[in-house]
Amino acid sequence: MAAGEQDSNGIQVRGMQFSYEYSPGQQQPPLFYDFNLNVTPGSRCLLVGANGSGKTTLLKILAGKHMVGGRDVVRVLNGSAFHDTKLVCSGDLAYLGASWSKNVGSAGEIPLQGDFSAEHMIFGVEGTDPDRRDKLIELLDIDLQWRMHKVSDGQRRRVQICLGLLHPYKVLLLDEVTVDLDVVTRMDLLDFFREECEQRKATIVYATHIFDGLDTWATHLAYIQEGELRRAEKLSDVSELKSSANLLSVVESWLRAETKLEKKKSVHNDLNTQKTVASSPFFSSRHMAYYR
């Protein structure tokens, strides 16, 4: 992910700025300010950082769920993550988030409800390769007779993951999805992801706090603190790994050493120009996500 490694088929973020809103029209100080990131095709990039550092927000931006800046700011597979809706519609860009929910404009995120079988959900997805579907059902050890409202969290999560992986994505964004999985399923899934990157040049960004098995799985590491990219490099270039027991202890030492960052430079400006900024069609807007 060094500057020389850029590739238009991976992920590129250039000078990104993003703020949440306190209330409609009232921007919070920017979470991301002049944020840059490159993720090369075929890489398995771990996204690490403390709670609240911005991992989920970044993944949602990369998934095109928040509008951020113009078409050149957040590029995925040579398209604009937000504007080029074919990225998501084609299945090339896939996002698996923490909760299986539906975004409803007036009510925010609500859990899916209803009596569906796993079979109904999985076989209801059109245009899937039957071999890939069978492989995923076996890998995730899914019983097709499971009723979605009666299964455990881990079982429900397996079906969610299966659905998310049915199409052979080119870029996959994972937000702590393995948290409910038992250790065998988790390790098998990590192996599957590795295979996908090596054989198909798929690119994966995986945000997690669970480091078991990731020392040899990840190819790259991106570490963010309060929305600022502190490290972005190949795992093999992380010098601290040579003198530490494992990745967990390296990340632990980074998080323990964190000191509060100086407030982002544009806070003052943004708070003074809230009205102008909020009304700009090019400024980030969480509300736009409701219409997607």
Ligand X SMILES: Nc1ncnc2c1ncn2[C@@H]1O[C@H](COP(=O)(O)OP(=O)(O)OP(=O)(O)O)[C@@H](O)[C@H]1O
Q: Which residues bind ligand X (CB under 6 A)?
A: 20, 31, 49, 51-57
- Residue 6 or 253: the one with the smaller Cβ distance to ligand X is 253
Partner residues linked to 37 by β-bridges: 13
Place of tokens 């597979």: 77
Strands of the sheet containing 44-48, edge to edge, are: 93-96, 171-175, 203-207, 44-48, 220-225, 228-234
- Residue 31 or 197: the one with the smaller Cβ distance to ligand X is 31
Using the CB atoms, write b or e for 277-287: b if 16+ within 10 Å: bbeeeebbbbe
Cβ 11 to ligand X, closest distance in Å?
17
> Would you say 227 and 52 are in contact if contact means Cβ atoms under 8 Å apart?
no
What DSSP string runs through 126-140? TT--HHHHHHHHHHT
Cβ 278 to ligand X, closest distance in Å?
14
- Residue 28 or 244: the one with the smaller Cβ distance to ligand X is 28
Nearest one of 174, 252, 264, 269 to 226, comparing CA atoms = 264
- Residue 9 or 274: the one with the smaller Cβ distance to ligand X is 274
Q: Residue 14: in which H helix or E strand, if any? A: strand 11-18
Q: Residue 270: in which H helix or E strand, if any? A: helix 267-272
> What is the rounded distance in angstroms from the CA atom of residue 21 to the CA atom of residue 289?
14
Residue 199 CB: number of other CB atoms within 10 A?
Answer: 9
Cβ 59 to ligand X, closest distance in Å?
8
- Residue 20 or 192: the one with the smaller Cβ distance to ligand X is 20
Cβ 243 to ligand X, closest distance in Å?
26
> Would you say 1 and 43 are in contact if contact means Cβ atoms under 8 Å apart?
yes
Cβ 71 to ligand X, closest distance in Å?
23
Cβ 163 to ligand X, closest distance in Å?
22
- Residue 76 or 140: the one with the smaller Cβ distance to ligand X is 76
